[in-house]
């Protein structure tokens, strides 16, 4: 099978020749993997080929002006204006969100906040990219597309976002709706430009902690579900399945997403409540395909190579029967993951992930 055939067969919950494989990683472990395979630091495609990754993404490029000024001690997103600072830790470093410029903003301030126009993106290369990547399963979007709480939190802070949703704060809801409207139109234009070359739409919303839901069911039904519906409607108009990224304990919301037409769930953090592979396979295996399950906070990060092989084999044995499982980390692989463990993870998928 080609990668595209493999993924689409799996999304249809049928056995393919092997489980499809995906990859996402933080910069530190990504650089170490490229060095391990003798690749140049910027050869992301070469690394995906070395790992046997079946997925590729396409999307528009922003070509508009910088809307938010730079700062010497921070990184400021030129389009949306969220702010990050560089944080070093024992195994690497990352850019962490900070300052939250719209925390105390009122409706008028939110309405004036500069945001990109869908006209300020270049869509002209997308059709050619789809042709070049046609052997792979091609997606538009990513775990951040349509994400409400995280994305609004970049500008408003998570505490304020939860208050916005609980109290129907007009400023917070306006921020969410402005951002989603822009994302939806960009996505529509990307799908139109792809000329039928896209295989699925990827969106996201982190819905849980390790222990349980991060918001109430009532808040989900009032504020999250109706704001995600237009993205499902858009995918349906282009005859595309939707895959949704949901960190933490999120299976409580899957029944509602199934009503909207959800086909594939991503992340599947096994440490979280009601997210173990066995639970998910038993409860949803006849209705959903799965993408994820390989914890970035378990043996891949903290175990030996033998631990990794054993853990990945156990996950495959649970999730593979009958088809419908894509092998992938639960999140971006973290920099504290030993190179040999990540290599073993992907070797195990190729060795034991065959039907």
How high is the mean pLDDT of the chain?
97
Q: Indicate if the pLDDT at residue 284 is higher than 90.
A: yes
Domain ranges of the chain: 3-65+103-352
Residue 92: the pLDDT is: 81
Range 3-65+103-352 has CATH code 3.40.50.300 = no
**pLDDT interval class at 93 (50, 70, 90):** confident
The pLDDT assigned to 149 comes to 98
Tens digit of pLDDT for each residue in 160-217? 999 999 999 999 999 999 999 999 999 999 999 999 999 999 999 999 999 999 999 9
**Per the confidence metrics, is the pTM higher than 0.95?**
yes
3-class secondary structure per residue, the chain: CCHHHHHHHHHCCCCCCECCECCCECHHHHHHHHHHCCCCCCCHHHHHHHHCCCEEEECCEECCCCCCCCECCEEECCCCCCEEEEEEECCEEEEEEECCCCCCCCHHHHHHCCCCCHHHEECCCHHHHHHHCCCCEEEEECCCCCCCHHHHHHHHCHHHHHHHHHHCCHHHHHHHHHHHHHHHHHHHHHHHHHCCCCCEEEEECCCECCCCECCCHHHHHHHHHHHHHHHHHHHHHCCCCEEEEECCCCHHHHHHHHHHCCCEEEECCCCCCCCCHHHHHHHHCCCCEEEEEECCCCHHHHCCHHHHHHHHHHHHHHHCCCCCEEEEECCCECCCCCHHHHHHHHHHHHHHCEC
Residue 289's pLDDT is 98
pLDDT for 237-274, tens place per residue?
A: 999 999 999 999 999 999 999 999 999 999 999 999 99
């Amino acid at each position: 099978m080609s990668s595209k055939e493999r993924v689409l067969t799996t999304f249809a919950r049928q056995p393919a020749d092997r489980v499809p494989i995906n990859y996402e990683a933080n910069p530190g472990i990504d650089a170490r993997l490229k060095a391990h395979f003798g690749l140049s630091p910027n050869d992301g495609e070469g690394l995906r080929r070395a790992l046997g990754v079946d997925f590729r993404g396409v999307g528009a490029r922003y070509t508009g002006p910088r809307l938010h000024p730079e700062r010497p001690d921070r990184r400021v997103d030129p389009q949306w204006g969220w702010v990050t600072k560089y944080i070093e830790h024992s195994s690497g470093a990352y850019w962490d969100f900070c300052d939250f410029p719209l925390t105390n903003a009122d409706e008028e301030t939110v309405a004036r906040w500069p945001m990109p126009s869908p006209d300020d993106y270049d869509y002209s290369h997308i059709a050619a990219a789809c042709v070049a990547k046609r052997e792979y399963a091609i997606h538009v979007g990513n775990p951040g597309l349509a994400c409400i709480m995280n994305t609004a939190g970049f500008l408003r802070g998570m505490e304020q976002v939860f208050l916005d949703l609980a109290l129907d704060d007009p400023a917070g809801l306006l921020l969410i709706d402005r951002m989603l409207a822009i994302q939806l139109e960009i996505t529509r234009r990307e799908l139109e430009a792809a000329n039928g070359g896209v295989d699925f739409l990827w969106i996201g919303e982190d819905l849980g902690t390790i222990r349980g839901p991060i918001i109430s069911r009532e808040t989900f039904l009032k504020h999250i579900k109706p704001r995600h519906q237009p993205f499902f409607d858009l995918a349906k108009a282009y005859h595309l399945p939707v895959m949704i990224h949901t960190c933490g304990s999120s299976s409580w919301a899957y029944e509602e997403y199934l009503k909207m037409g959800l086909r594939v769930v991503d992340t599947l953090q096994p440490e979280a409540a009601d997210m173990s592979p066995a639970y998910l396979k038993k409860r949803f295996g006849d209705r959903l395909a799965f993408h994820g399950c390989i914890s970035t906070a378990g043996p891949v990060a903290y175990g030996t190579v033998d631990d990794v092989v054993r853990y990945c084999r156990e996950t495959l044995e649970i999730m593979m029967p009958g088809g419908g499982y894509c092998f992938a980390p639960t999140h971006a692989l973290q920099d504290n993951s030993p190179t040999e463990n990540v290599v073993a993870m992907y070797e195990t998928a190729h060795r034991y992930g065959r039907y």
